[in-house]
Structure 1
Amino acid sequence: MSFKIAIIGAGSVGFTKKLFTDILCVPEFREIEVALTDINESNLSMIKSLLDKVVEANGLPTKVTATTDRRRALEGARYIISCVRVGGLEAYADDIRIPLKYGIDQCVGDTICAGGILYGQRNIPVILDFCKDIREVAAPGAKFLNYANPMAMNTWAAIEYGKVDTVGLCHGVQHGAEQIAEVLGAKSPSELDYICSGINHQTWFINLKLNGRNIGKDELIAAFEAHPVYSQQEKLRIDVLKRFGVYSTESNGHLSEYLPWYRKRPDEITRWIDMSDWIHGETGGYLRHSTETRNWFETEFPTFLEQAGRPIDPARRSNEHASHILEALETNRIYRGHFNVKNNGIITNLPSDAIIESPGFIDRFGINMVAGIALPEACAATCISSINVQRMSVHAAVSGDVDLLKLAVLHDPLVGAVATPEEVWQMVDEMLVAQARWLPQYAHAIPAARERLSKGTVKTRDWTGAARRQVRSIEELRAEKKSA
């Protein structure tokens, strides 16, 4: 087979390499073209070198190109994969830093909450530019695979406003299933059958079978509480399991910032999180992790380039959805996964316009979602709170409506549990001013926001959060890896 895949934001070096090697595990895909594009020429050069090494070492005819001209990369592409992070780590640091001044402590801040909403405001105008290019220069009927967060908002905008065939992809369901299989003593995750449904990062394992045997709430709670590691790392998730009766896909730290109950009091936060790794609840944990990962890649690039010369091993193909989706669409080998699409009645007790994450099957005819799923009422209620925030955020990002943006932030569950309306209004002004260069739709509103800030009466504080760690140096990372 010969077709073209374009990867936007290909400078996400490690993730792009994973997707690329996964795709080349499909024998029929040896002669494809992969076009890489990014605004960061240095990262683009690094990933091009890595993928060229993969192709050369494996004696493949695969064509790899790289350009900062996005339209050129998209020309004739049948599939477009987005891994963009608009504003990079500089803007992301403000997503964490500024809300802390108003008492809002986030672990990740890339889906909803104050950071996730502003992340969406930066991403959505760019996503719509991608969609315009896809409509104009990509292959007819091209499919857009969005990996970028905030997943639901980006996918919502691409479908509703971009008018492009879009599916959002995440690996939270797979990782949650691996945990469940492990605590239940399965020899392999393949022994676990499940239905997992909801919205991205708030998806729920509503039906579980291990080797055909139903797994109930009490057995699952007992299994997690008996596990020597997860019983400590996933305390909040286990508490939600006890109260809701179903397990959430999302990590302990990420889940804590979607709910209004666990991160609103600084003295309570440490009760529910675990500091053994960033993902379990550390303040700004993903920002620290991302910063360390970037520094590590840049410093250790020669080692990564050398490792790229190893043979591709299909047995080590990852469970990221992209390669499996392409394989199903092109070869008709059916793939079952969990996909982010517009609801339209798939989940009966969530709004029809929402972007949901739910099971589906893929073949030559496309994505065939399993319809008629009903979530437990508490799960639906929690999802709807986030959906309402997502809807307002998307519409604000498209229209440049500052008032609607502030209302979206005000209605965020964690923000609303911590901050007053006056604090939210000032915080959003501060974030708009700090990130103005990435927010073209709000250019008209920045002078007034800056003027309001100069007269602001809300007191803020210099707070690093309830559980903050400093970015580790390369030497510290080397020592830790050597010890491990």
Structure 2
Amino acid sequence: MSFKIAIIGAGSVGFTKKLFTDILCVPEFSDIEFALTDLSEHNLQMIKAILDRIVEANKLPTRVTATTDRRKALEGARYVISCVRVGGLEAYADDIRIPLKYGIDQCVGDTICAGGILYGQRNIPVILDFCKDILEIAEPGAKFLNYANPMAMNTWAAIEYGKVDTVGLCHGVQHGAEQIAEVLGAKSHSELDYVCSGINHQTWFIDLRLNGRKIGKDELVAAFEAHPVYSQQEKLRIDVLKRFGVYSTESNGHLSEYLPWYRKRPDEITRWIDMSDWIHGETGGYLRYSTETRNWFETEFPQFLEAASKPLDVSKRSNEHASHILEALETNRVYRGHFNVKNTGIITNLPQDAIIESPGFVDRFGINMASGITLPEACAATCMASINVQRMSVHAAVTGDIDLLKLAVLHDPLVGAVSTPEEVWQMVDEMVVAQARWLPQYADAVPAAKERLSKSMVKTRDWAGAARRKVRSIEELRAEKTALKQAG
């Protein structure tokens, strides 16, 4: 087979390498072209060097090109994969820093909450530019695979406004299933069958079978509470399981910021989180992790390049959906996964226009979703709160309506639990002004926002958050890695 895959945001070096090696684990795909594109020439050259080394070491005919000219990369592509982070770590830092001035403590801030909504405002105009290019110069009928957050908002915009065949992909379901299999004592993940449905990052394991035996709430609660690690790292998640009756796919830290109950009082936050790793609830945890990872990669690049010389190991193909979807579409080997698509009767008690995440099967005929799923009422209610925020956020991003943007932020569950309307209005003005270079749709609104900020009487505070850790230096990271090796 010979076709072209374009990867936008390919400067996300580690993730691009994973997608690349996964796809090359499909024997029929050795003769395809990967077209890498990114705004950073530096990052592009690093990832191209790694991928070229993999191709050379495995004596493959695979072609790898890299360009900052996005249209050149997209020309003739059958599949387009997006891994973009518009604004990079500079804008992301404001997504965390500014809401903290108004008492909003986020762990990740890339899905909803104040940070996730502004992240969507930066991403959606760019996503729509991608869609325009795909329709104009990619292979007719090209499929757009979106990995970028905020997943639901980006996918919603690409489908509703971009008019491109789009699927959103995430690995939260797989990671949650791995946890469940472990606490239930499964010998392998294949012993666990499940139906998981909802919206991205708020997806629920509504049916669990271990070797065909149905697993109920009480057994699952007992299994998590007995686990020496998860009982400490997933305290909030276990509490939600007890109250809702089903387990959430999302990590302890992520889930904490989608709900209005666990992060609204600073003295309560530490009760529900665990500081052993960022993903369990640390304030600004993913921002710290992303900063450290970027610095680490820059320093350790020669080692990454050397590792790329090893033969491909098909047994290490990851559970990221992209390679499996492409394999099913091109070879007709059926793949079952959980995909982000527009709801069209798939989940009966969520809106038809929402982007849902639910089970589907892929073959040569496309992605075929299982329909007629009904969520437990509490799960549906929680999803609905986020869907309403996502809908307003998408429409605001497309129209540049700053008043609608403020209403979207006001209706966010955690923001609403913490902030007053006056605080929300000022916070959004401050974020739009700070990020104006990435928000072209709000250019006309920025002068008035600056004027309002100059006269505002709303008080803010200098607050690092309830559970903040400093960014570690390369030397500290190296010392910790060495200590772990010695201890292991």
Q: Shorter-chain-normalised TM-score: which range?
A: over 0.9
Residues 28-55 of structure 1 deviation map (CA, whole Å, 9 limit, x = unaligned): 0000000000001110110000000000
Q: Please name the residue that 2:458 is paired with.
A: 458
Q: Please name the residue that 1:219 is paired with.
A: 219
2: distance between equivalents of 1:20 and 1:77? 15
Identity score, percent: 88
SS of the equivalent of 1:257 reads: helix
SS of the equivalent of 1:300 reads: helix
Residues 186-244 of structure 1 deviation map (CA, whole Å, 9 limit, x = unaligned): 01111100000000000000000000000000000000000000000000000000000
Q: Please name the residue that 2:331 is paired with.
A: 331
User: How far off is 1:169 after superposition?
Assistant: 0.1
SS of the equivalent of 1:352 reads: coil
Q: Please name the residue that 1:7 is paired with.
A: 7
Q: Please name the residue that 1:247 is paired with.
A: 247
Q: Aligned partner of 1:439: which letter?
A: L
SS of the equivalent of 1:403 reads: helix
Number of positions where the alignment pairs a residue of Structure 1 with one of Structure 2: 484
Residues 387-406 of structure 1 mapped to structure 2, 5 A cutoff: 387-406=387-406
Residues 296-307 of structure 1 mapped to structure 2, 5 A cutoff: 296-307=296-307
2: distance between equivalents of 1:189 and 1:84? 31
2: distance between equivalents of 1:190 and 1:474? 39
User: How far off is 1:308 after superposition?
Assistant: 0.6
Residues 26-425 of structure 1 mapped to structure 2, 5 A cutoff: 26-425=26-425
1: distance between equivalents of 2:91 and 2:476? 25
1: distance between equivalents of 2:423 and 2:133? 39
SS of the equivalent of 1:72 reads: helix
SS of the equivalent of 2:274 reads: coil
Q: Aligned partner of 1:214: which letter?
A: K
SS of the equivalent of 1:429 reads: helix
Q: Aligned partner of 1:222: which letter?
A: A
Q: TM-score, length-normalised on structure 2? A: 0.99
SS of the equivalent of 2:443 reads: helix
Q: Please name the residue that 2:439 is paired with.
A: 439
2: distance between equivalents of 1:237 and 1:76? 44
SS of the equivalent of 2:36 reads: strand
2: distance between equivalents of 1:336 and 1:69? 35
SS of the equivalent of 1:305 reads: helix
SS of the equivalent of 1:464 reads: coil
2: distance between equivalents of 1:351 and 1:291? 37
2: distance between equivalents of 1:402 and 1:84? 24
SS of the equivalent of 2:258 reads: coil
Residues 321-361 of structure 1 deviation map (CA, whole Å, 9 limit, x = unaligned): 00000000000000000000000110000000000000000
1: distance between equivalents of 2:386 and 2:334? 32
The two structures, once aligned, show a CA RMSD in angstroms of 0.3
Q: Please name the residue that 2:16 is paired with.
A: 16
Residues 45-70 of structure 1 deviation map (CA, whole Å, 9 limit, x = unaligned): 10000000000000000000000000
Q: Aligned partner of 2:480: which letter?
A: E
Structure 2 gap ranges (5+): none
2: distance between equivalents of 1:476 and 1:456? 42
1: distance between equivalents of 2:78 and 2:185? 42
1: distance between equivalents of 2:118 and 2:344? 27
Q: Aligned partner of 2:164: which letter?
A: V
2: distance between equivalents of 1:259 and 1:225? 22
Q: Please name the residue that 1:25 is paired with.
A: 25
2: distance between equivalents of 1:6 and 1:437? 26
Residues 56-111 of structure 1 deviation map (CA, whole Å, 9 limit, x = unaligned): 00000000000000000000000000000000000000000000000000000000
1: distance between equivalents of 2:310 and 2:470? 34
Residues 268-310 of structure 1 deviation map (CA, whole Å, 9 limit, x = unaligned): 0000000000000000000000000000000100100000111
1: distance between equivalents of 2:337 and 2:283? 31
User: How far off is 1:376 after superposition?
Assistant: 0.1
2: distance between equivalents of 1:51 and 1:453? 48
2: distance between equivalents of 1:113 and 1:253? 13
1: distance between equivalents of 2:265 and 2:475? 35
Q: Aligned partner of 2:413: which letter?
A: P
User: How far off is 1:483 after superposition?
Assistant: 1.1
Residues 394-426 of structure 1 deviation map (CA, whole Å, 9 limit, x = unaligned): 000000000000000000000000000000000
Q: Aligned partner of 1:157: which letter?
A: A
User: How far off is 1:459 after superposition?
Assistant: 0.4
Structure 1 gap ranges (5+): none
